[in-house]
Structure formats: structure tokens, C-alpha cells
Amino acid sequence: MAEPIALAAMAIDAALGWPGRLYRRIGHPVGGFAWLIAACETRWNRPERSEAARKRAGIATVGVLLLTAGGGGWLLQSMVLAGLGRFGWIAVAVLAWPALAQRSLFDHVRPVARALHKGDLDSAREAVGRIVGRDTDRLDEAGVARAAIESLAESFCDGVVAPLFWLLLLGLPGVWAYKAINTADSMIGHREPRWRSFGWTAARTDDVLNLIPARLSGVLICLVGGGWRTMVRDAGRHASPNAGWPEAAMAGALGLRLAGPIAYDGVMKDKPWIGAGRMGCDGRDIDRALHLYLRACALLWLIAGGLAWAR
């Protein structure tokens, strides 16, 4: 049953994404997780508490998230399948749809390329600033393009492959538990003093949940675009144990050099380069990356369809 549910959810997402009108009216489900994480952080991550106490509080926060997202997903899935009978899987697919981001990821990266094609660097910086955490106000054209391509590669895992993986494996509880932990990692899974202890469990849990999907993401990119050698050689250069796989695969497939020194909140981080290709890139390279992304998504569809047919 998981395979038809996954295919239907992917089809809805590809057709609709998460419509802006719907977002303005009700927000997005991950916003609920963000509210819960922020509430836990405000209540439990107080600076006067010891590092050990804050780490225990972080463990408790992850437990609350898993219980809420996983338990809620299991309850909803059980109720829908029991109440709607043979048509229940369609409702489960609708409930899983917001966890996928095929369409929205494309829709967020494409405007960066369009702005660069027009020579509008300020608009390109603004557009890429919506999808990356680094400082963007001083990026040149190549820096903007690299940021967009890196975000596309990493988010291919976080927004498409990993949610689909956990949906296929554990159904609605799996996909929403993953999204809750991934949201927590993006909010509190940092190394700064404020979050180092409190966010440790969220960051490590996210690492575990992405262990297989990240490598699968890299393999999918290489299958449609090449870049195997770069992926194997450079994946470990990334600070994350997982994000380097799709990013190195994308760098190799496009013949680019990604990552490198990046500024966050005015502080320059001397990150290593990933890939050995061109340092200069532009909107045309973003277009090439989006083309690879669409082909990799299509390959995912074939895999999910093959699993459904085999079942």
C-alpha cells in the first residue's frame, strides 16, 4: 500500500506544490513543528541551566516531536484507512503530500536563475536569500549561482528523497516524524553556544535519518548526470556527514566547484571547496542543475512505480 500512496503524494506535489494561497490562509504543517520546537526551547533551554541539563532537555524535545508527529501520523493513518476502506489510501496520500517539496523547491530556485539571466543581481540575491542561511547581500553572480545550486542539491535530499524514503518505509508516521526532526535540526541543530547542547540530539537524529537518503540522493544525481568520481572523493569534505553526498554529486555532474568560504552573520567560514571544476558559474548553470534535478525526480518516480508494480 505504501507505494501507491507515495506515487499519489508525489503526483499531487508535482502538480500543485504548496500553493501560496493555501500557505497564506493556513501556513504549512511544518510551522506547527516550528512552534512546538520554539516553545520547548523557550521553556527548557535557559542559559542558567547546566550543559548536561540542556542536553537532556534537547532529548526530551526530540521525544516530544517524535511522539507528536509519529504518533499523530499513525493515529491519522489508522483512522483514515479504517474509516474510508479501500479509498483510504487516497486520503493518506493527501495527508502525506505537504511533506514533499518537489515543486516548491523548483519554484524557489528558478527565480534566482531568471534574475541572473536579466542581469538583476540584487533580485537574484534577494531570491537566493529566501532559500539559504548564508549572507547574500555581497555575493557576486558566481556566489549567488553556487548558493542556489548547493541549496538545490542538499534540499533534493531533505525535501524529496528523504521524505519519500520514510513514507515508503513507515508510511504517514515515518514521513512526518522525519519532517519534524529535520525542522528541529534547521532551527536548533547548530554549534553556537546557545544551541550546542540543547540541539545536539536533534542534529544527531537528523544525521541518522538522512544517512541512507543522502547517499541515495547522490547516486540518483550521478545516474542522470555523472559525477561519480567527484561524489566519492569530495562528499567527506562537507561539515555534514550527509549533505556532502548530493552536493558533491551535483558539483561533479555540472563540472563546477561548489561550497568554499561562506559568510554567516558577518563571519567568514573557511569551508573547503567541493569539486574540481569551474569556480565561475551563472544562471545557465542553475538551469543545468534544475534539469538534472528534474531528471533525478523522474528517476524517483520510476523507482516508486517499479516497487508498486512489483508489489
In whole angstroms, what is the distance from residue 41 CA to residue 193 CA? 14
Number of independent structural domains in the chain: 1
Query: Which are the contacts of 90, defined by CB distance < 8 A and separation ≥ 6?
Result: 8, 84
**pLDDT value of residue 1:** 64
Contacts (Cβ under 8 Å, ≥6 apart) of 272? 237, 259, 260
Q: What is the mean pLDDT of residues 35-46?
A: 95
pLDDT tens track for 267-289:
778 889 999 999 889 999 999 99
Q: What is the pLDDT of residues 64-107, one digit of tens each?
A: 999 999 999 999 999 999 988 888 999 999 999 999 999 999 99
**pLDDT of 25 strictly over 80:** yes
Residues counted in the chain? 311
| H helix or E strand, kind and range, residue 258 | strand 258-259
Quote the mean pLDDT of the chain. Answer: 93
Q: Is pLDDT above 80 for 256?
A: yes
Please give the share of the chain, as a percent, with pLDDT higher than 70.
Answer: 99
pLDDT tens string 142-179: 999 999 999 999 999 999 999 999 999 999 999 999 99
pLDDT at 311: 65
Q: How confident is the model at residue 116 (pLDDT cuts 50, 70, 90)?
A: very high
In the numeric block, which cell numbers belong to residue 94? Answer: 493527501
157: containing domain: 2-310
In angstroms, rounded to a whole number, what is the distance separating the alpha carbons of residues 266 and 311? Answer: 53
